[in-house]
Amino acid sequence: MKTAITPTREEDFNEWYQEVVKSGDLAENSPVRGCMIIKPHGYSIWEGMQKHLDAEFKRTGHQNVYFPMLIPLSYLEKEAEHVEGFAKECAVVTHRRLVKDGDRLKPDGELGEPYVIRPTSEMVIGEAFAKWVNSYRDLPIKINQWANVMRWEMRPRIFLRTSEFLWQEGHTVHATAEEAVQETLTMLEVYRSFFEDVLAIPVMPGQKTESEKFPGADSTYTIEAMMQDGKALQGGTSHFLGQNFAKAQGIKFADKDLSEKYAFTTSWGVSTRMIGGLIMTHSDDDGLVLPPKIAAVHVKLLPIYKKEAEREEVLAYVNDLMAEVSKVDFNGGKVSVEVDDRDIRGGEKYWSNVKKGYPIILEIGPRDVKNGKVFMTRRDLGTGAKSGIAKDDFISSVASMLEEAQANLYTRAKEKRDANIVEISSKDQFEEVFSRKEFPNKMGFAYIADNEESRNILSEKQMSFRCMPLTEQEVEGKTCIFTGEPVKRRVIIAKSY
């Protein structure tokens, strides 16, 4: 069967992904290796993500701030484990200006202390916390920053792995460990709800193993999703930092009994990587598919006519329809409608909009005007499910169709994920399952100890520990399928992005 995107997902998933990004007009590579240009259609998705999440951050008591992107090198050196985790990825500023040298420019004015372009902001924000916190009355402090970060990426892929990317990073300070842990889990739940309810991506909330946790954290929590090729994607992380950063940066307070104590801190974040996850979860071999709750445009109207005499009649019908549909309530706002009135052939117009993933696409020609109808494609059902519907019936049912499309995308993704998770009970079964060359890949669920031997065995299959699901309870009497040593919790293992 002919598809709009070649190759298909099964033929070459990585190349299919790049083609969906390109044909969907989402982003493109920039002249700077590893950095991307996010185009208007792609940025509208990020704006939707910001809008939903920012409201949740404010609802849970956080305020937005902005910190400098340049961090003194000495700040990072204060937390050895943290800086070691990011050292190889850091971009470093060593000079203050450029001077002309013949026909070229060269750096001049070496800085007394280099600056690092932020790979993350725990250290610079922690310095501010140390000044802001004096008494228990100052706590908690709960802030969030929308920013860009820089981590040199050797194998870039648009949205999934780029040297510069957009994200939000939340940072909080608390008087007790219990309060900080609760904050960590609360923000993990904010992410889980956003992924499942808005992005229609089913996720597994869990705790990272010791070897996979954030550098400098006591514990890291994550939401893990499965892409259509069976690989895992870390959607977002939430870190309980204990007193590690507080001790490194002197974040102390006088408690009610006047004793001086170190505070407990957290950090948590998601990034433009979510857009990559959205693409790989829902899109098909005809291009991008967007869940209605994250789409900037819910309904795209395509006026189709061959003769200039038909143009005025069709456009009047389309504009009337747009006015009516725009009044319909959906997802706490109104249905967003846009008209593609470009003077191009009908087929070209249709397929370019299919590839951009609009939830509902309506083709409207002279015959539809005459019969009071529209010709509808619901993107979640695929291009083979076109149908004619009376204009008035469409207006009255558009909100319910968008809700149905949202639910359909989530259900379909969850069924695919659940069908490709395998419970592994022995090393032989591990070898048998993960030696197959198949599409999609499988995720494993097994008792495995987090040690060098286990990590090496997983690495041979290009796999890693993803998380220990929070739904799993600790049990006694279980042993690692690789080493035989006692383990209490099962872990998800998979290839990943």
| pLDDT per position as a tens digit, 358-402 | 999 999 999 999 999 999 999 999 999 999 999 999 999 999 999
Q: Given this model, what pLDDT does residue 79 score?
A: 73
Q: Given this model, what pLDDT does residue 82 score?
A: 74
Closest CA to 273 of 235, 217, 246: 235
Q: Calculate the alpha carbon distances from 192 to 6, 12, 221, 254, 372 in Å.
A: 33, 30, 11, 35, 43
| pLDDT, mean of residues 427-443 | 96
Q: Given this model, what pLDDT does residue 377 score?
A: 98
Angstrom distance (rounded) from CA 53 to CA 384: 34
What 3-state DSSP class applies to 84?
helix
Q: Given this model, what pLDDT does residue 11 score?
A: 97
CA-based angle 470:176:191, to the nearest 5? 35
| pLDDT, mean of residues 102-123 | 96
> What does the block give as tokens for 16?
């299919």
pLDDT tens column, 28-70: 999 999 999 999 999 999 999 999 999 999 999 999 999 999 9
Q: Given this model, what pLDDT does residue 87 score?
A: 87
Angstrom distance (rounded) from CA 235 to CA 122: 20
Residue 85: pLDDT band (50, 70, 90) is confident
Helices (DSSP H) in 339-483: which residue ranges? 346-355, 366-371, 391-419, 427-434, 452-460
Q: Given this model, what pLDDT does residue 345 score?
A: 94
Q: Given this model, what pLDDT does residue 337 score?
A: 99
Q: Calculate the alpha carbon distances from 415 to 159, 195, 409 in Å.
A: 25, 16, 10
| pLDDT, mean of residues 276-288 | 99
Helix (H) or strand (E) holding 361: strand 360-364
> What does the block give as tokens for 23?
């044909």
Helix (H) or strand (E) holding 152: none
Residue 12 has pLDDT above 80, yes or no: yes
Residue 495 has pLDDT above 80, yes or no: yes
> What does the block give as tokens for 278?
């959205």
pLDDT tens column, 130-158: 999 999 999 999 999 999 999 999 999 99
- Phi, psi (degrees; rounded to nearest 5) at 204: -110, 105
Angstrom distance (rounded) from CA 472 to CA 466: 14
Burial class (CB in 10 A: 0-12, 13-18, 19+), 184: buried
Q: Given this model, what pLDDT does residue 350 score?
A: 98
Residue 83 has pLDDT above 90, yes or no: no
Domains of the chain: 13-282 (3.30.930.10), 299-402 (3.40.50.800), 421-494 (3.30.110.30)
**Radius of gyration of the chain from Cα atoms?**
26
pLDDT tens column, 294-352: 999 999 999 999 998 899 999 999 999 999 999 999 999 999 999 999 999 999 999 99
Q: Given this model, what pLDDT does residue 42 score?
A: 99
Closest CA to 359 of 294, 281, 450, 276: 294
Residue 86: pLDDT band (50, 70, 90) is confident
| pLDDT, mean of residues 174-187 | 99
% residues pLDDT > 90 (the chain):
96
User: If you average pLDDT over every residue of the chain, what do you get?
Assistant: 97
